[in-house]
Structure 1
Amino acid sequence: MIRAREGKAEAASPQADRLPLLAYLTDEASEAALRTGLAELGGTVQVRRGDIRHAVRALEREATPQVLVVDVSGVDDALGALEKLAGVCTPDARVFVVGERADIGFYRSIVHELGADEYIFKPLTRDNIAMLVGARIAQEAGVAETLPGRGGRIVTVCGMRGGVGATTLAVNLAALVAESTKGHVALLDLHLRGGSAALMLGGKPGSGLRVALEEPERADALLLDRVAIPVSERLRVIAAEEPFDIDPAPTPEGVRNVLDLLRARFNVIVVDLPMPPTAAERMALSMARHRIFVLGPDLASVRDAEAARKLVSGLGVATPPILALNREGWRGGLRTALIEEGLGTGFDLRIPDLPAQIPAAANLGKLALNECPAFRRALQPVAAELFGGKRAVEPKRLLGFWRRRARGEAAVAAVS
């Protein structure tokens, strides 16, 4: 077996002839998660429908890609199939395995014993693909210095203009994530004057947030604990209610410090962000793992969405925003197909027009999530994609079994 593998390696195609990334996946949902999670790689991602057995048959004839993603779902002898894959691939290929089995023993067999780069179990999300695959590819290419650090994930929610429902979405998304994942969630409202996140949840904010944002040297975890408004056991709101005759002056350093403190205490931080953002608020955009842009079915939203996308691109962010259309079907509003044509892309989230239920819930200080089943159904897919999937355990960085073998062969060649 070793001798046969060495022969395969010697016949390897030049690097220039190899696909940058090839994936064999068995379902459409996994393909969508892979493409959105690796959106910064653009057209270099090639996805084919099939499992690891299809990959083995194809790579017997084709050049080995630089990065290979294979699906072992439904394969009885997945470990044996991986051994066969090693026999037809060149030693320097990076291999990521996707499957449905979530037990730790199976994970250890693939990563620790066989030495694959990572095993990710389904359902895939754009988040675990970006973190476990995209960040490692970027690090290997020298465009990222380190893998993502420990700490909670930041999600910004921005309305393309006032009144499109961004705060409603942010409040209910935070509550849904806390409910469904049982994680600790913080909802940070950066509308320091006139913000309504705490109001929607029946809370009364104080003035400590403004101090933390303006004078980062005075902010610490104890201050944020005093400022945080408990909504439930797993959800806290951090907000302010400054008078209209006061001009808050948050600094980029203050925003970074507050978010770093929150990342150390919470699994997820949902940020209700004003748009267009100031320099301080742009810091939150640059730190976010995900950015949700909320549009209404109107021409101004389409115009401002394009400006917001250019803004985010100028911050050096490659991952495209998540586009949410609120009040779909609003009488007198633009048709969804026409908006998508103007944007040049489709929506990740669509919320129907609910003119009675949503305002009623907000006025009563209740979650629309609990008062309106249609609203819950609309939010669930994006919440599940971002946070609902179980995440694979992140091991210490190991050499893949192809690279380990290649280094061993190089060492033998040097000695001889």
Structure 2
Amino acid sequence: MTTLLSQLADIEPLPPVADSTQLVDLLSRVAAESLVDLPEVVLIHEAIAPVPALELIREIALRFPAVGAVLVTADTSPGLYAQAMDSGARGLITFPLNYEELSARVQAAAQWASGVRRHLGSGEEYAGVAGTVVTVAGAKGGVGATVTAVQLALAAQASGRATALVDMDFQTGDIASYLDVQFRRSIADLAGVKGDISPRILQDATFSHPTGLALLLAPVEGERGEAVTDRATRQIVSALRSRYEVVVVDVGSQLNAANAAAVEMAGIAVLVTTPDVVSVRGAKRMVRMWGRLRVRKAEEVLTVVNRHNRATEIQPPLIQRAVGTHMARTTVPAAFKELQGVLDAGRMYELEAKSTIKQALWALAGELGLAGPAKPASGGGKRAKR
């Protein structure tokens, strides 16, 4: 295909990418640096993974509406054609590859993309926020993953970034309790949405907290969380990161299809452990399970040590050797008494600035790039490649 593309007039083929995650990351990076350099056309093989081809096309259509996605497939049935068009594809290319067909489909998608960009002017309107998604998982229950997620979100919001905090710990989620929230709508209400999740639907399902955070909470009836499938998760997370600069997702300590999809989509995956044998073993199990299921590689995970004490035998270097991930430079001290009052009151956002736990978690937010000065958007650049 690359050889054929290189023979087409006025086409500058980019190097192929190996999977759906790399493709979305590439488009996000290019959009953040210079919108005019976004590819006009992307060709998506029917066997791409881990996100299925049609779901990937839908995500590209939502986040990058002026990029034409074309499906490459051996299936010529009318049913697939209809599904591809419903997902937002600008055409299909069938196997075996044919120069004339490839040229016609790519040129048609490129002309469509160019027309959309002319209509939108500079293109600033179509890029979306392309926010950073951060998942926070616990090595086991009770290691402090929810406190970490809440404080990371508060730090991001305080630094001027529009931030959403999502509770995907369906059975034991405590974000609503930590932030003193009474709510009716939950993430389960979005799971039943057919088609795209519009900004209005998303706004109706989220709770606007006095801190400025947008909260998407776990359902009160934990069993309703079963309605949130991996496909629904991808739609929900895609809708959130197109609207918010930072999306922090508490995925708990149990693996299911929904939170696995969130971890897979995340730009940053944080794993929280405490410096004890049981928690470290739990962290090791979690990382290995993510790897076996192709959710996330160990080198793409950042482990954070909570309740750190220099006097304990298990220190971060030992944890790193055991778990096999990168380790955060920031450790969170063992100072539970600082949390007791705000936890009992359900007002985690009132944790004092002098708290060593808050200082550490906000420093972690800075380490992750969620807090501190926002990067200025760059302008200009080369002509968009197809």
> TM-score per shorter chain, which class?
0.5 to 0.7
1:215: how far off?
Answer: 4.5
Answering whether residue 177 of structure 2 is matched by residue 199 of structure 1, we say yes
> What per-residue deviation string (whole Å, max 9, x for no partner) do you get for residues 289-313 of structure 1?
1011000112122222223333444
Match of 2:116 in 1: none
The answer to whether 1:173 aligns with 2:157 is: no
For the structure 1 residues 331 and 356, does the alpha-carbon distance in structure 2 shift closer, same or farther, using more than 3 Å as the test? Answer: farther
SS of the residue corresponding to residue 293 of structure 1 reads: strand
Counterpart residue number, 1:260: 238
TM-fit CA distance, 1:389: 4.3
Aligned with 1:391 (options 364, 375, 382):
375
Answer yes or no: is the 8 Å Cα contact 1:159–1:166 preserved in 2.
yes
- Name the CA distance, whole Å, in 2 between partners of 1:226 and 1:300: 41
The one of 276, 287, 307 aligned to 1:298: 276
Residue of structure 2 equivalent to 1:357: 338
Residue 352 of structure 1 aligns to a residue whose secondary structure is coil
SS of the residue aligned with 2:215? strand
- Residues 204-240 of structure 1: CA deviation (Å, up to 9, x unaligned): 2324421212545485432331222222363111103
The alpha-carbon distance between structure 1 residues 282 and 200, as it changes in their structure 2 partners (threshold 3 A), is same
Amino acid aligned to 2:240: L
SS of 1:199 mapped into structure 2: helix
Query: Is the CA contact (8 Å cut-off) linking 1:152 and 1:269 kept in structure 2?
Result: yes
Match of 1:160 among 114, 127, 139: 139
Answer yes or no: is the 8 Å Cα contact 1:176–1:383 preserved in 2: yes
* 1:261 CA drift (Å): 1.6
Identity %: 23
Counterpart Cα distance in 1 of 2:222 and 2:214: 25
In structure 2, do the counterparts of structure 1 residues 389 and 224 end up closer, same or farther at CA, with 3 Å as the change threshold?
same
Query: Contact 1:206–1:240 at 8 Å: present in 2 too?
Result: no
| TM-score normalized by the length of structure 1 | 0.55
How far apart, CA to CA, are the structure 2 residues paired with 1:342 and 1:353?
A: 21
Alpha-carbon displacement from aligned partner over 1:362-411 (angstroms, at most 9, x marks no partner): 11122267325211221233212312244243345439xxxxxxxxxxxx
Residue 243 of structure 1 and its aligned partner are, at CA, apart by: 2.5
Report the Cα distance in structure 1 between the residues aligned to 2:213 and 2:361, rounded to whole angstroms: 17
Instruction: Report how far residue 258 of structure 1 moved.
Output: 1.1
Q: Which has the higher contact order (CA 8 A, sep 6+)?
A: 2
Measured in 1, the distance between the counterparts of 2:290 and 2:376 equals 29
Pairwise CA RMSD: 3.7
SS in 1 for 2:272: strand
| d(CA) in 2 for partners of 1:309, 1:216 | 33
Q: Distance in 1 between matches of 2:327 and 2:222?
A: 38
Contact 1:357 1:368 in 2 (8 A): no
The structure-2 alpha-carbon separation of the partners of 1:330 and 1:212, relative to structure 1 and needing over 3 Å to count, comes to farther
Structure exhibiting the larger radius of gyration computed from Cα positions: 1
187, 212, 235: which one pairs with 1:209? 187
In 1, are the aligned partners of 2:303 and 2:328 still within 8 Å (CA)?
yes
Q: Per-residue CA shift, 1:308-350, capped at 9, x if unaligned?
A: 3334442365852121111112987744454344335644331
What are the equivalent positions in structure 2 for 1:15-414 lying under 5 Å apart? 150=128, 151-180=130-159, 182-217=160-195, 219-232=197-210, 234-243=212-221, 248-313=226-291, 314-315=294-295, 320-329=300-309, 334-343=314-323, 346-367=327-348, 370-371=351-352, 373-385=355-367, 386-387=369-370, 388-398=372-382
Secondary structure of the residue that 2:300 maps to in structure 1?
Answer: coil
Unaligned runs of 5+ in 2: 1-21, 23-27, 38-42, 49-55, 65-126
Following the alignment from structure 1 to structure 2, what is the Cα–Cα distance between the partners of residues 196 and 364? 13
**3-state DSSP class of the match of 1:193?**
coil
Task: Give the number of aligned pairs.
Answer: 266
Query: What SS is found at the alignment partner of 2:254?
Result: coil
Residue type at the aligned position of 1:195: G
Q: Which runs of 5+ in 1 are unaligned?
A: 1-39, 41-126, 137-141, 400-416
Question: CA separation of 1:247/1:195 partners in 2, compared to 1, >3 Å: closer, same or farther?
Answer: closer
The 3 A distance-change label for structure 1 pair 196 and 264 is same
Give the ranges of 4+ consecutive aligned residues of structure 1 lying more than 6 Å apart after TM superposition: 144-149, 330-333
Q: Report Cα offsets for 1:32-85 as digits up to 9, x if no partner.
A: xxxxxxxx9xxxxxxxxxxxxxxxxxxxxxxxxxxxxxxxxxxxxxxxxxxxxx
Using the alignment, how far apart are the partners of 1:202 and 1:308 within structure 2? 30
